[in-house]
Amino acid sequence: MEDCLGAQAATLTRTSRGATYGGNRLMKGQNRHGATRRNKDAAFDRWLNLAVSVAVTTAILVGLAAVLAHWLL
């Protein structure tokens, strides 16, 4: 955990003029939030997230139906 924080601290440093993140200057008081940066494939990522959510929900419903059928029959 300490190594992770050390690497993060090396990448994000605060100065009196503001924060720098990977060489990019941010305005004073600004911090970079979020785990991922915006990219060109954002529409594909949203579609993939939706497809995985539908697949997981379907699998859970089929599993519950199978358990109920096993108990009742």
At 10, the pLDDT band (50, 70, 90 cuts) reads: low
Give 44-59 pLDDT, tens digit per residue: 899 999 999 999 999 9
Task: Quote the CA–CA distance of 40 and 44 in Å, as a whole number.
Answer: 9
| pLDDT for res 50 | 97
Q: Domain residues of the chain, as ranges?
A: 1-35, 38-73
Contact 35, 28 (CB under 8 A): no
Contact 25, 18 (CB under 8 A): yes
Average pLDDT over residues 27-44: 71
Strand 24-25 to 12-15 pairing? unpaired
Q: How many C-beta neighbours within 10 Å does residue 12 have? A: 14
Task: Quote the CA–CA distance of 65 and 20 in Å, as a whole number.
Answer: 53
Choose among 8, 29, 1: nearest CA to 17: 29
| pLDDT for res 32 | 64
